[in-house]
Amino acid sequence: MKLSSEMTAFSNRLGHRFSDPALLIEALTHPSVDSPARTRNQRLEFLGDRVLNLAVAEALFHAFPQAEEGELAPRYNELVRKETCAEIAAEIGLGQVLRMGRGEMMKGGRKRLSNTGDAMEAVLGAVFLDAGFEAARTVVLTLWGDRVKTAEGRSKDPKSALQEWAQARGQEPPVYEVADRSGPPHDPVFTIEARLSTGQSARATAGSKRQAERAAAERLLRALKT
For residues 53 and 35, give the distance between their C-alpha atoms in angstroms, rounded to a whole number. Answer: 29
- DSSP letter at 224 equals H
Q: How many CB atoms lie under 10 A from the CB of residue 125?
A: 25
Q: One of 26, 45, 49, 87 is an active-site residue; which one?
A: 49
Inter-residue contact 52 to 80 (CB < 8 Å)? yes
Alpha-carbon torsion (170, 171, 172, 174), positive or negative: negative
Q: One of 118, 121, 213, 218 is an active-site residue; which one?
A: 121
Inter-residue contact 221 to 162 (CB < 8 Å)? yes
Among this protein's residues, is 121 annotated catalytic?
Answer: yes
Among this protein's residues, is 193 annotated catalytic?
Answer: no
Q: Name the residues annotated as catalytic.
A: 49, 121
